[in-house]
Structure 1
Amino acid sequence: MKTFFKPTLYVLLAVLAITSCSRKKNTFLSRNIHAVTAEYNALYNGYNALDQGRTSLNDTYEDDYWEILPIERMQIDEDVILPGQSKNENFTRAEEKAVKAIQKHSINIESKEYNPQMDEAYLLLGKARYFDQRFVPALEAFNYILYKYPASDKINQAKVWREKTNIRLENDELAIKNLKRLLKQEDLEDQDLADATSMLAQAYLNIKVIDTAITLLEVAAEATKSNEERGRYSFIQGQLYNELGYKDSANIVFDEVIELNRKTPRIYMISAYLEKVKNFDYENGDKLVLSELLEELETNRENRPFLDRIYHVIGMHHLKGESVELASRYFNKSLRTNTRDQKLKARNYEILGDMTFDKRLYADAGAYYDSTLANLKLNSKPYRTIKRKRDNLEDVIYYESVAKVDDSILGLVRLPEAEKLAYFEKFVADLKDKAEEEEKKQEALKRNNGLATVGNQIGNRNIGAGGPGVPNQGGGFYFYNPTTVAFGKNEFLKIWGDRPLEDNWRWSNKGASAGGNSGTTADIAASASEDERFDPQFYISRIPSDAKEIDSISKDRNYAYYQLGLIYKEKFKEFNLAKDKFKELLESNPEERLILPSKYNLYKIYELLEQHDEATIAKNDIVSNYPESRYAAILTNPESVALKDENSPLALYEKLYDVHVSQDYEIVINQSEEYIQAFEGDPIVPKFELLKATASGRLLGFDAYKKAINYIAVTYANTPEGQQAQRMANEMLPKLESAAFVNDSISSGFKVVFKFDRNNTVKINEFKTTLDSVLENVRYYKLKSSIDVYDTNTTFVVVHGLRNAQVAKTFDQILLDKDVKKITEPYFAVSSANYQILQIHKNLDAYLNLNNP
């Protein structure tokens, strides 16, 4: 009997336990078992996963201290996340645990929840979705808490998190309204008060109400229990005071951050120091104290992770103190820290570029601006600003390089044979020394690689970190480092120029836009064989000896001098530099076309520099030796300069452009050629060339247009017109090259064309007048006509506005009976697309034969 009783008792107790834990019953045992299981199983693991996810977010997030910091450290990813995907597996796991707690432990009977942990589960669900940047689902979770659990002890947290989500969804006005109501209705304390006020401050920051945000951040900093948050909130306060121009108030708040010292992340303390340095009053402040502070920041070993920014601020300090060399040294030291702050690198490079520009080292300044662009976001406002500055240097860099190379070549040409031999013997000796040094480096590198390989095999692991200064720290492939890539590109361009990707790219004739650098000794050495490379006679044999070639080099050099004189005078207002270039040009036996413009520009420069005696000499020279020139006319009659000179290049261009509009293309071509010769060397010449190219295309067709555009792109490559021609050659000409006609069935516009002999202008004008009167009587169609030049022999009178091919082919049938007899000239119909093709390629016969086999 006793043996039978024990198993029966166990079974009854088990059934009782199971039925008591049912989610369908609201009993003391059921509520507490499900509450405890949810809290210490699913929710515990869920919050652990959430904390791990937040830690990983904080580890990968980097604040941008060039801007006002956000209240919450969270990087928003713009990538679209598809359903079922996640940005972080930890947040997915946290969400799964929250859902598990709800599904398995919710005691929802008659729409009422009896498990006290369910509000916590929904809060975890909302937080996981929030940090996974799925803000709409997160909002649903927080709203569910407010709807379903109004008496929950987590209700204020849910309200704050809901408004955090609204702020992320850019519903700032709604968030402000709800948070102000929460602060008014509830007596919040400690962390709840800090969270609510800090988020309200963020909402005000988003709508640019800075003063209110400062007040709220002060409340949040006092209320929070987290020293990390206190340091961040106070630092943002200081930034906002600086934004409003209240530097004294900002420094007081920064001092509060500094006093926290090790209680808050060191980055806030260092940033506070640096912001105070930026606010320093150089007129009234103690510069000795500031220097001691900067020295302490630089030498403190704990500040090594922040040396990139510290060096930059020290550089700015020396720059304001006019210690330019010291400033340059610190900006370069900041760059050598291999900082990951792209904005910091861009600012360092930009400042170095500006300093180099002020020294008139324009080629070096251009290289610095190239590095600046490599570290800026493409097409951003700062990028466009630097791009314009860099583009302004393009011409001066190009012509300085041309002048330098050509001067070197001409200098070698003038050397006696003995001095040539001595020069290249020294050059070859230097080459051998460099080759030996490079060979030793390669051998050392091979030995080191061998040791690294052995070490890897012994340790059975990869050593990816490089030594000091090596950019592939941590095993990353160094070409993935944008700084390294940008530096490599700039070094390549300095040595080789802009060369196309092709075989034998080192050959001297491959330099595309190296600024005339293709004839340098370095180029010749690079293209030489091993035997030739160390033979002085090889280099001597490459020195030009033909009189025509030497004369061509001299002309190129003189033209470069002329362009540099104009650029320094007009673009950079460097009048002394411009004067030197024009004087060097006049002393170099220049072509006749460059002499008079150079003398006139020298006269203008003397006037600007108030060197009146030299200006008088230059003026008398022009008036006496070139009395018929337009420059002499301007100098002898200065009042005419205030009026529009009818014979000025610009005025002549404007008149010729009007002729182009009236379709007198032959006159445009002939006049353009005359003006190009007359104004050779003047900046207006490329404009005439482009106008002539357009007229040639309209009159002679695609081949003539293509030839002219390519000529402009090559001959005037560094002018706006030349760059425009290059874009046209790259983008537009390939689209126009096909002469094949399209199928009329896919066209929606058609024309009726009447063909006339171009010389019979009276007949053409009379016919157009008659046609216009007839078109006014046409019903259901709104038609108009035009006179279009086709070629040197043919002119078209064209009817526009037809939408149907059949109507165009039977054009006379839409005319009124009284008008049909007025239009007796033969015509043909053509789609708008095909009309454009036959005008471009002048293939009218091919089109007529195609439609009339």
Structure 2
Amino acid sequence: MKRFLLHIVGLLLLMPLYQGCSTEKNTFASRTYHRITSKYNVHFNASESFESGLERIESSLEDDFTRLLPIYKESEPAAANLVKSDMDYAVLKASKLIELHSITEKPKRRRRRTRRYQEFASQEEFNPWIDQSYLLIGKAYFYQHNFMAAIDNLSYVLRKYPDGEARHETQIWLLRSYSELERFAEASEVIQAVQNDRSFPRKLERDLAIATADFYMKQHDYDEAIKFINIALGKTFWRKQKARLQYIEAQLYEELGKPMLAAEAYQKVTRMNPDYRMAFNAKINAAGMFSGEGDAEKIKKELNKMLRDKKNVEFRDQIYYALGNIFFREGNRDMAINNYRKSVASSYNNQFQRAQSSITVADIYFDLQNYRDAQAYYDSAMIIIDDTYPNYEKLSSQYRSLSNLVENLFMVEREDSLQRIAQMPDNERDAFITRLMREEQERQRDAESLALQGQRDQGYYRSNRYRMGMGSGQQGAGWYFYNPQTVAYGQVTFQQRWGQRKLEDNWRRSNKSTVSMDEMDEMAEMIDSSQIVVRVEDPLQKEFYTQDLPLTDSLMALSHDRIRDALYNAGKIYKSEFSNYERSAESFEELMRRYPNNIYQLSAYFDLYDLYELMGDREKSDYYRNLIISRFPESKYAQYLINPNFFVEMQAR
């Protein structure tokens, strides 16, 4: 600072002598004046504005540890808007410097022209801060994500000032600009040019290594990226940046499927004394690299210690998830599921973790053929994720199939439950409903108590207590009223009609334009009020429990039709969507046991024949084959079973 003030004082003292100095004169005095003015006035102000923008990025953009960190924070889309005003000012000042202080006029010819003088006189620019200003403009455009403008300015520096002091730094920024635009062939040419340049300064080797690592990361060539990160780590002494590079290296090892190296790298991060969030995530990820070998108890002890730390309340979902992973790799599936479920239940702010934990436990339930719970946890994830999520199409397809299956399974149990209640004597039914209403009152009191303690929102608690395994386990006739699938069935029906909708105003409208009063009146006129059946939604009213009961012969017949259709649909879904032949056969067998002469009889027989054929049960397969041929001899199914070429021959006619 003292040196800077001395320069300014000197400049002020010399100002009167240089009043006549213009860029059209190339004298020692004019060169000195414009050089000092450029460095300590215009370029200084431009650089200050530029640095202010960098500080804004550093203080405003937080790393998202749920994904692979970018090498540079400024690569994030949000960075451009953060620094726009600072970079605009830097471009303005640097452009002003070029306009007012560029000296291209040749100096007066000397009588004695030494080689040194000839080299000096052959320059196209005599103010050394001009190329630096073009470089600064290129960097400012880079931070604004105007990469084409950055490339134009940076390329100009290399073309116009090939021997200038700014050329090596310019090459690094040109490499970065090409990488951001994914113009990797041109970026590779820059790397090659730098590698062939023996004059490249050692002080820039670290920046070059980081830029090259970024180049390879953007191409998903993580092995090469790690090589250059290691070079950069050896030349980086700023603790915060070193920890970040080490964290990225650990993530890359994880991406490459090298858990031991990843764990080692994460542990290095924790020893670098990084900020709390990075240290926490490094510990969690190191624990997550447990492969079934080593001291699992030590890792679990550390994670449980982290759970007890009040500073980690908002991170408990990640800790439970890490514990779940360890138990899963140990082969303790029940404890793994328990911790994954706790992760979902404790995830409030971290939507990525909530989705990841939900999908993980859903996958386990699916493998266990626990399709109800699998659907419930996929549902929790699908509300959060969009089509950018990894394997979204596969997840979405599986979720839809499970939702259709659960809808049909629920329909069977719902109608069975309603039929059992409907068939009770009146006094027994009334007593049963009174007991359910009393239990609901107690539930609501519990929920309100929890809400007052700040532990759960009442609505969230009531809608999720059973899904998360907190229900009373009530079975029998009351199943329909207090079961998680009641909620799931409503969600499936809603989504089939409206699709995935966020909770917001006018959610019914895919095009949420304003609805006028005239439109509302018009819609009201279209509705026949006599057709409206108002449902009771309050579980403290008796009608809530009686409104769906099949208390007449016609309603009972409709209830049986629903069960019949649902059993048939479930059998089809088990077979075609999940290739679960055993469950499919059970569903069709149940259909035929309960409704022997139903409308699906022939189709169900053929499916049973086919299923047992697929399962290698020849005895049962032959049984249903013979049943079809003897009972439905004229059917196409029978003709096919007698002559496997039946359909081919029929098409050829």
Classify 1:418/1:588 alpha carbon distance in 2 versus 1 (closer, same or farther; 3 Å).
farther
| Match in the other structure for 1:568 | 574
1:190: Cα distance to partner?
Answer: 5.2
Would you say 1:627 and 2:641 are equivalent positions?
no
Would you say 1:417 and 2:417 are equivalent positions?
no
1:242: Cα distance to partner?
Answer: 4.5
Q: Distance in 1 between matches of 2:39 and 2:244?
A: 32
| Match in the other structure for 2:170 | 158
| Match in the other structure for 1:281 | 291
Classify 1:328/1:555 alpha carbon distance in 2 versus 1 (closer, same or farther; 3 Å).
same
| Match in the other structure for 1:116 | 128
| Match in the other structure for 2:480 | none
Question: More relative contact order in 1 or in 2 (CA 8 Å, sep 6+)?
Answer: 2
1:223: Cα distance to partner?
Answer: 1.6
Match for residue 232 of structure 1 among 240, 244, 268: 244
Listed as ranges, the matches of 1:597-636 within 5 Å are: 598=604, 623=626, 627-630=630-633
Runs of 5+ consecutive residues of structure 1 not aligned to the other structure: 1-12, 446-466, 471-489, 511-517, 660-853
Q: Distance in 2 between matches of 1:402 and 1:388?
A: 21
Q: Distance in 2 between matches of 1:101 and 1:493?
A: 68
Classify 1:368/1:177 alpha carbon distance in 2 versus 1 (closer, same or farther; 3 Å).
same
| Amino acid corresponding to residue 404 of structure 1 in structure 2 | E
Q: Distance in 2 between matches of 1:546 and 1:365?
A: 36
Secondary structure of the residue aligned to 2:188 is helix
Classify 1:538/1:106 alpha carbon distance in 2 versus 1 (closer, same or farther; 3 Å).
closer
| Amino acid corresponding to residue 155 of structure 1 in structure 2 | R
| Amino acid corresponding to residue 525 of structure 1 in structure 2 | V
1:341: Cα distance to partner?
Answer: 5.5
Listed as ranges, the matches of 1:798-837 within 5 Å are: none
Q: Distance in 2 between matches of 1:544 and 1:627?
A: 37
Q: Distance in 1 between matches of 2:244 and 2:423?
A: 69
Q: Distance in 1 between matches of 2:440 and 2:219?
A: 64
| Match in the other structure for 1:525 | 536
Classify 1:580/1:52 alpha carbon distance in 2 versus 1 (closer, same or farther; 3 Å).
same
Secondary structure of the residue aligned to 1:109 is coil
Q: Distance in 2 between matches of 1:115 and 1:223?
A: 32
Kept after mapping to 2: 8 A contact 1:356/1:365: yes
Match for residue 347 of structure 1 among 343, 356, 368: 356
Would you say 1:99 and 2:102 are equivalent positions?
no
1:176: Cα distance to partner?
Answer: 2.6
Match for residue 210 of structure 2 among 190, 198, 207: 198
1:389: Cα distance to partner?
Answer: 0.7
Q: Distance in 2 between matches of 1:232 and 1:538?
A: 58
Secondary structure of the residue aligned to 1:290 is helix
Kept after mapping to 1: 8 A contact 2:207/2:232: yes
Classify 1:493/1:18 alpha carbon distance in 2 versus 1 (closer, same or farther; 3 Å).
farther
Q: Distance in 1 between matches of 2:232 and 2:422?
A: 78
Runs of 5+ consecutive residues of structure 2 not aligned to the other structure: 1-12, 107-122, 458-486, 499-507, 509-522
Kept after mapping to 1: 8 A contact 2:628/2:637: no
1:561: Cα distance to partner?
Answer: 1.8
Classify 1:587/1:211 alpha carbon distance in 2 versus 1 (closer, same or farther; 3 Å).
closer
Listed as ranges, the matches of 1:235-274 within 5 Å are: 235-262=247-274, 265-274=275-284
1:90: Cα distance to partner?
Answer: 1.9
1:134: Cα distance to partner?
Answer: 1.0
| Match in the other structure for 1:393 | 402
Q: Distance in 2 between matches of 1:578 and 1:508?
A: 43
Kept after mapping to 2: 8 A contact 1:190/1:223: no
Q: Distance in 2 between matches of 1:372 and 1:51?
A: 41
Classify 1:634/1:169 alpha carbon distance in 2 versus 1 (closer, same or farther; 3 Å).
closer
Kept after mapping to 2: 8 A contact 1:222/1:230: no
| Match in the other structure for 2:229 | 217
Match for residue 403 of structure 1 among 408, 412, 417: 412
| Amino acid corresponding to residue 132 of structure 2 in structure 1 | E
Kept after mapping to 1: 8 A contact 2:340/2:361: yes
1:193: Cα distance to partner?
Answer: 0.4
| Match in the other structure for 1:89 | 85
TM-score (norm 2): 0.72
1:326: Cα distance to partner?
Answer: 3.5
Q: Distance in 1 between matches of 2:169 and 2:176?
A: 10
1:622: Cα distance to partner?
Answer: 8.1
| Amino acid corresponding to residue 165 of structure 1 in structure 2 | S
Kept after mapping to 2: 8 A contact 1:627/1:633: no
1:139: Cα distance to partner?
Answer: 1.9
TM-score (norm 1): 0.57
| Amino acid corresponding to residue 75 of structure 2 in structure 1 | Q
| Amino acid corresponding to residue 571 of structure 2 in structure 1 | G
| Match in the other structure for 1:554 | 560
Classify 1:375/1:421 alpha carbon distance in 2 versus 1 (closer, same or farther; 3 Å).
closer
Deviations, residues 737-789 of structure 1 (Å, cap 9, x unaligned)? xxxxxxxxxxxxxxxxxxxxxxxxxxxxxxxxxxxxxxxxxxxxxxxxxxxxx
* Coordinate RMSD, CA, aligned: 4.6
Would you say 1:125 and 2:126 are equivalent positions?
no
Identity of matched residues, %: 22
Classify 1:208/1:382 alpha carbon distance in 2 versus 1 (closer, same or farther; 3 Å).
closer
Classify 1:261/1:469 alpha carbon distance in 2 versus 1 (closer, same or farther; 3 Å).
farther
Kept after mapping to 1: 8 A contact 2:43/2:94: yes
Classify 1:255/1:632 alpha carbon distance in 2 versus 1 (closer, same or farther; 3 Å).
same
Q: Distance in 2 between matches of 1:335 and 1:48?
A: 46
Listed as ranges, the matches of 1:55-66 within 5 Å are: 55-61=55-61, 63=63
Rg larger for: 1
Kept after mapping to 1: 8 A contact 2:602/2:628: no
